Structure 1
Amino acid sequence: MLAGWDVADTLSPREEAAIAWTETVTRIGETRAPDSVFRPLREHFSDTEIADLTLAIALMNAFTRVAVAMRQ
């Protein structure tokens, strides 16, 4: 379902905001984390939750890059 999350009608607004943030942070070089994605995130998450989510996204992206680089 994640491949079509933006057209699925089964996710809550909170889940949609988290997934949108995940995509924009993962592609930060292209997206520059626009306010249009950050605003909905602020509606559903506290500052601490946003920081935790962003760190988790960054770590998973780092692990993926290491795995790819190590041919795993």
Structure 2
Amino acid sequence: MTGRTRLLDPAVGRAMSALSAAAKKGLGDPALAELVVIRASQVNHCAFCLDMHLTVAREHGVSERQLGLLAAWEEAGDAFDERERAALALTEAVTVLTDRFVPDEVYDQAAQHFDEVELAHLVGLIVAINNWNRVMVGRRIPPGGYTP
């Protein structure tokens, strides 16, 4: 793991942090934002981001039930409301891009629950956490380094 100790050039790190903060602020629901970043981090197998955002999610009042069922949100019954489900579906579609694009039905479902500004911030947040996941996984940064 030689050469992997430095995460990013400070200017890049500040830019990524600014994108994350702006997207979260514009979304306006910190608990939902944490569900989104945790789900993307699960899909991307980012232990550092999972460790960090599970802590933050609890601080924002996300229930242990939701945290425990998040990996299986589609099968979790009433654990997630329709708005959360739409955000999680969009998170997975943008994160995985298995069909090389986000399916129209997934985007349209999200658009029913988020206005244009919120939707732009939601997509921005998904893009931001995917960037962070790729940095942390690519550099093999282990969990445990986050301090609130």
TM-score by length of 1: 0.91
Q: 1:7-51, CA deviations, whole angstroms, 9 ceiling, x for partnerless residues?
A: 1112111010000000000012x1310111011101100011111
Which of structure 1's runs of 4+ aligned residues deviate more than 4 A? none
CA RMSD of aligned residues (A): 0.9
Distance 1:42 1:70 in 2: 35
Distance 2:137 2:112 in 1: 35
Distance 2:80 2:140 in 1: 34
2:116 is the counterpart of 1:47: yes
Report the CA distance between 1:60 and its aligned residue.
0.5
The structure whose Rg is larger is 2
Query: Which residue identity is paired with 1:24?
Result: A
Report the CA distance between 1:68 and its aligned residue.
1.4
Report the CA distance between 1:69 and its aligned residue.
1.5
Match of 1:69? Answer: 138
Distance 2:140 2:127 in 1: 20
2:115 is the counterpart of 1:23: no
Q: Between Structure 1 and Structure 2, how many residues are aligned?
A: 71
Distance 1:15 1:71 in 2: 30
